[in-house]
Amino acid sequence: MGILTRFRDIMSSNINALLDKAEDPEKMIDQCLRNLNADLGKVKSETAAIMAEEQRAKRVLEDCNEDIAKMQAYAVKALEANNEADARKFLEQKASLSSRQTGLQEAFNLAHTNATHMREMHDKLVDDINELESRKDMIKGKLAVAKTQERINKMGSSVVSANDSMASFQKYEDMADRALDKANAMAELNNSSSAQSIDDLSEKYATNTVVEDELAALKASLNK
């Protein structure tokens, strides 16, 4: 398959659709990333070459346009100097350049179109790789969970009733929640009571200290 054909397929492809068709999605993810990264190296090289051709075609066209402008300016100067023969030569050169200009413009337009298409394919490829890289672990995680669930489903036939099991599980969970809530409430009450007792006791002694200090001061003043 040619490189351009392959990249057109990439442009129209959808990563999720590719994964849906895979028998082993986990292996498909890794293989798809390897293929895309290998393609990215090729498309970068192709894109760089075509962009370089676009720049070359643009430079040649611009040089031709500049030469046409110069011939026109020289012809005007020659006529201003009353040198009609020189002016004719400049205009003949301008006409020759103008006929060449048409082909150069077409070449540049084609090179620009090719470069635009290659840049689009390059950007699409980079976006696909980034998307797949960012989702790789998530997809593999889902696959692992799915495989585990499949094993659980196969073992489920030997268990009594799934609904009864879930009801029992819920009952035990409710019991655990109530026990935890009770323990938390008791701890909160203990902390609150302890803090309250300390506060009351501190206030008691703080008040007595003030009274004792005032009494001592009063005695001292009377004795004096």
**Does the pLDDT of residue 147 top 60, yes or no?**
yes
End-to-end Cα spacing for the chain: 118
Tokens standing for residue 41: 């190296």
Over its C-alpha atoms, the chain yields an Rg (Å, rounded) of 44
Which residues have a Cβ under 8 Å from the Cβ of 40 and sit 6 or more positions away? 122, 125, 126, 129
- Rounded to an integer, the average pLDDT of 130-135 is 80
Contact 135, 84 (CB under 8 A): no
Tokens standing for residue 120: 């689009």
Kindly write down the DSSP assignment for every residue of 10-60, as one continuous string.
HHH--HHHHHHH-SSHHHHHHHHHHHHHHHHHHHHHHHHHHHHHHHHHHHH
Write down the pLDDT at residue 66.
95
Span 172-192, pLDDT tens digits: 777 877 877 777 777 776 665
| Percent residues over pLDDT 70 in the chain | 71
**From CA 142, how far away is CA 132, in angstroms rounded?**
14
Could you state, in order of their start, the residue ranges of all structural domains in the chain? 3-158, 163-224
- Rounded to an integer, the average pLDDT of 10-17 is 53
**Does the pLDDT of residue 1 top 50, yes or no?**
no
* pLDDT band for position 58 (cuts 50, 70, 90): very high
Model confidence, pTM: 0.48
